[in-house]
Amino acid sequence: MAAGGHAHHSLALTRARTGRSAVAEFQAKRIPGSAFFDIDGVATLGSGFPHMLPSEAAFAAAADALGVTTSDTVVVLYDRIGTFSCPRAWWTWKVFGHDKCAACCGAEGCARCTR
């Protein structure tokens, strides 16, 4: 637990459509202690559009797997490109009631935090 009784989770994001391996990039360089959130893995498929908002059940399962709750977890989302998947993920967490959510959108700021 961090200050204020809240657990802090940093969640790294990378979209697969870039032709790069999101998991490999996360494993190579990330904010220490962060977890990987697969925005494509929870997306609703079949609409013809990429990265559609997941069902409530799919999102809840992903959040549970990461150990994230709406009551006591502060989530900081980041990606290396900044305006690529980070804003979409932030919006997704907000839609599902996660008010303690922030986004570090931009490679400059996040590059200083990653190893």
The tens digit of pLDDT for each residue in 6-30 reads 455 556 554 444 567 778 877 887 7
Give the alpha-carbon dihedral of 28, 114, 103, 96, to 10 degrees: 40
Q: Is the pLDDT of residue 4 over 60?
A: no
Question: Could you say which DSSP state residue 72 is in?
Answer: T
* pLDDT per residue as tens digits for the range 67-79: 888 887 788 887 7
Q: Taking the model in full, what pTM does it have?
A: 0.76
Domains of the chain: residue spans and CATH: 14-72+85-111 (3.40.250.10)
Burial of 16 (0-12, 13-18, 19+ CB in 10 A): middle
